């Protein structure tokens, strides 16, 4: 969504990390993640919202409307006169939303160490890219053999 080819109003709905591996859209407590590119004062920005499924209905966090079907929720927020700050205009397909993960070193600022584990270290970082600096976790693996890694 960060690329210039995606206009404000472009969006992606995915299963939230909390529900990774659970693809039953009827399960109670299901959380979906809505990423939406919005036009802010100076530049576009990616906003994220949670969509939850409660009592057999979908609702966007802090929203006032509940929907029986996810498609009804999308249709409602696709209307230009929905009076909310959420306007969905173009659903980005999964392939089109693939993030390019190789960035030039000059676009990444490495900050303090957040933690260290069996496989490596995690640092706080900042990625400077299309829209605005974005906080990231930088993971660096330890030097180990394939056998050590697979243990």
pLDDT tens by residue, 70-85: 888 888 888 765 666 7
Find residue 30's DSSP bridge partners: none
Same domain, 14 and 87: yes
In a shared domain, residues 43 and 116: no
The token pair that represents 58 in the structure block: 């979908």
Considering the domain architecture, whether residues 113 and 85 belong to the same structural domain is answered as no
Which residues participate in the annotated binding site? 139
Q: Taking a C-beta distance cutoff of 8 angstroms, is the pair 90, 102 a contact?
A: no
Tell me: the pLDDT tens digits for 101-139?
A: 566 777 889 999 999 988 889 999 988 865 677 888 888
Q: For residue 35, what is the domain's CATH number?
A: 3.30.505.10
Answer yes or no: do 110 and 74 share one domain. Answer: no
pLDDT value for 133 = 78
CATH code, domain carrying 118: 3.30.200.20
pLDDT tens column, 22-68: 555 556 567 888 888 887 777 788 888 889 888 888 898 877 889 99
For 78, the domain range is 10-91
Query: CA-to-CA distance for 81 and 105, rounded, in angstroms?
Result: 43
pTM: 0.54
> From the annotation, which residues make up the binding site for ATP?
139
**pLDDT value at residue 131:** 60
SS3 call for 143:
coil
- Residue 126 included in any domain: yes
Q: According to the model, what pLDDT value does residue 113 have? A: 94
Whether residues 16 and 86 fall in one domain? yes
Whether residue 100 is contained in a domain is answered as no
């Amino acid at each position: 969504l960060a690329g210039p080819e995606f206009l404000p109003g472009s969006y992606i709905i995915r299963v939230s990390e909390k529900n990774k591996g659970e693809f039953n859209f009827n399960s109670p407590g299901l959380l979906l993640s809505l990423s939406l590119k919005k036009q802010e004062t100076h530049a576009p920005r990616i906003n994220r919202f949670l969509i939850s499924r409660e009592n057999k209905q979908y609702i966007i966090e802090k929203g006032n409307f509940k929907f029986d079907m996810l498609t009804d929720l999308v249709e409602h927020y696709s209307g230009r006169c929905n009076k909310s700050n959420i306007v969905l205009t173009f659903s980005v397909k999964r392939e089109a939303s693939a993030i390019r993960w190789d960035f030039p070193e000059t676009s990444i600022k490495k900050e303090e160490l957040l933690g260290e584990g069996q496989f490596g270290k995690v640092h706080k970082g900042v990625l400077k890219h299309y829209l605005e600096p974005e906080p990231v976790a930088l993971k660096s693996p330890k030097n180990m053999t394939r056998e050590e890694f697979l243990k």
